[in-house]
Amino acid sequence: MDGMNYLTIAYLGMIVGIAVWTWTVVTRSKSIEARLEAVEASVGVSASEADSVAKEVDA
Amino acid sequence: MAARSAEALLGFGFIGIMATLFLGFQWAPSVSIDAFESPAAQRIFYWHVPAAWAAFIAFGVLFLGSLMWFFKRSPLGWRLHVAGAEAGLACGLITVWSGCVWGAAEWGTPWDWTDVRLNTFGLLTLLALFLVLGRQSQPDGIETRDTFSTFGLYGFVLVPLTYIATRIWEIRHPGPVIGSGDGSGSLSGDMALVLLLGAISFTVFISGHILMSMRITGLEQRLEQVQHHIDGGK
């Protein structure tokens, strides 16, 4: 196989990898944020920023 | 605000990464035809090296986070651990993939099981895979975090080992082209400039990913708290 073909395969793989990774992280962030806002609004509770597992250690 | 900063870093990093690719193809000089089996494939290194650099930063973040969680029980430490593992996995896979394709073009084989650099870096990527999949399959708790943090702490030994591997045992993977310490670097000025742009861009990009990942972990914890409240907990 020609060197340019290897180059194309390598960069296409990396571009797809970077795109999928970034898309997954950004959509996951937006989805969780929307779910949290919806749940907090419907229940009328605002969750604190504190980490519950770390609080468990402190207790 | 944090989300905006993370997205901005991701955007700037991505632009820089694509600029590196463009300059690597259009501006950087070609290597000597005699020096390589596959001179065209050498241009893979404009992303391969910066991705490996970014992976090392991510493994550093993983180590720091593990240390902060294990010894200080710091919530920030746990978020750093999670973000470092995810970023380390992504950059590790990019590095391994590009390295395998280059190896196939240059050496005629994608992997050499006798090369120390390849195998220690492969182990680091597998460690990150274990931490990411393990966290997703286990319930969050002190024991789970302690176990994964221990792996993050001890696994970091592979980072300096990978770094010095080609300096001590140069088997198949090429030695350092810059910063070799003995002045034997073989990189031209233009190539080094493109590589520097790539390293900066990948660093900015991975910083955005780490911030984004830390934010997601925080949101997941808040969501869990509300769920706990709905279920009747305090």
- The DSSP result for B161-205, as a single string, is HHHHHHHH--SSS---SS--SSS-----HHHHHHHHHHHHHHHHH
Chain A residues within an 8 Å CB radius of B49:
none
Report the mean per-residue pLDDT for chain B: 88
- Using CA atoms, how far apart are residues B210 and A32, in angstroms rounded to an integer? 17
For chain A, report the end-to-end CA distance as a whole number of angstroms: 63
Q: How much is the ipTM here?
A: 0.85
Inter-chain residue contact B41 with A7, CB threshold 8 Å: yes
> Which residue of A10, A28, A56 is in closest CB contact with B216?
A28
Inter-chain residue contact B21 with A11, CB threshold 8 Å: yes
Instruction: State the smallest CA–CA distance between residue A17 and chain B in angstroms.
Output: 7
Q: What is the DSSP letter of B140?
A: -
- Using CA atoms, how far apart are residues B186 and B163, in angstroms rounded to an integer? 18
Inter-chain residue contact A13 with B229, CB threshold 8 Å: no
Query: CA A4 → CA A11, A40, B20, B42, distances in Å?
Result: 11, 53, 18, 10
B74 Rama sector, left if φ>0, alpha if ψ -120 to 50, beta otherwise:
beta
What pLDDT digit, counting tens, does each position of B85-102 carry? Answer: 999 999 999 999 999 999
Contact residues for B95 (Cβ-Cβ < 8 A; gap 6+)? B48, B51, B52, B55, B121, B125
Instruction: State the smallest CA–CA distance between residue A33 and chain B in angstroms.
Output: 7
Inter-chain residue contact B40 with A6, CB threshold 8 Å: yes
Query: CA B115 → CA B63, B162, B166, distances in Å?
Result: 25, 11, 9
Chain A interface disruption, residue of B226, B227, B229, B231, most A CBs within 10 A: B226
> What chain B residue is nearest to A51 in terms of C-alpha separation?
B75
Encoded tokens for B209: 């990913």
> Counting one residue from A and one from B, how many pairs have CB atoms under 8 Å apart?
122
- Using CA atoms, how far apart are residues B161 and B155, in angstroms rounded to an integer? 11
Q: Is B1's pLDDT higher than 70?
A: no
> Which residue of A3, A25, A26 is in closest CB contact with B41?
A3
What pLDDT digit, counting tens, does each position of A9-47 carry? Answer: 999 999 999 999 999 999 999 999 999 888 888 877 776
Residue A45, classed as helix, strand or coil, is coil
Inter-chain residue contact B40 with A25, CB threshold 8 Å: no
> Which residue of B38, B86, B221 is in closest CB contact with A6?
B38
- Using CA atoms, how far apart are residues B58 and B86, in angstroms rounded to an integer? 8
pTM here? 0.89
Measured at the alpha carbon of residue B10, what is the angle toward residues B73 and B25, in degrees to the nearest 5?
Answer: 130
Continuous H helices in chain B? 2-26, 45-72, 75-106, 116-137, 142-155, 158-168, 189-230
Residue B173: pLDDT band with limits 50, 70, 90:
confident
Residue B128: pLDDT band with limits 50, 70, 90:
very high
- Using CA atoms, how far apart are residues B128 and B142, in angstroms rounded to an integer? 20
Encoded tokens for B189: 């000025």
> Which residue of B41, B98, B219 is in closest CB contact with A32?
B219
Chain A residues within an 8 Å CB radius of B220:
32
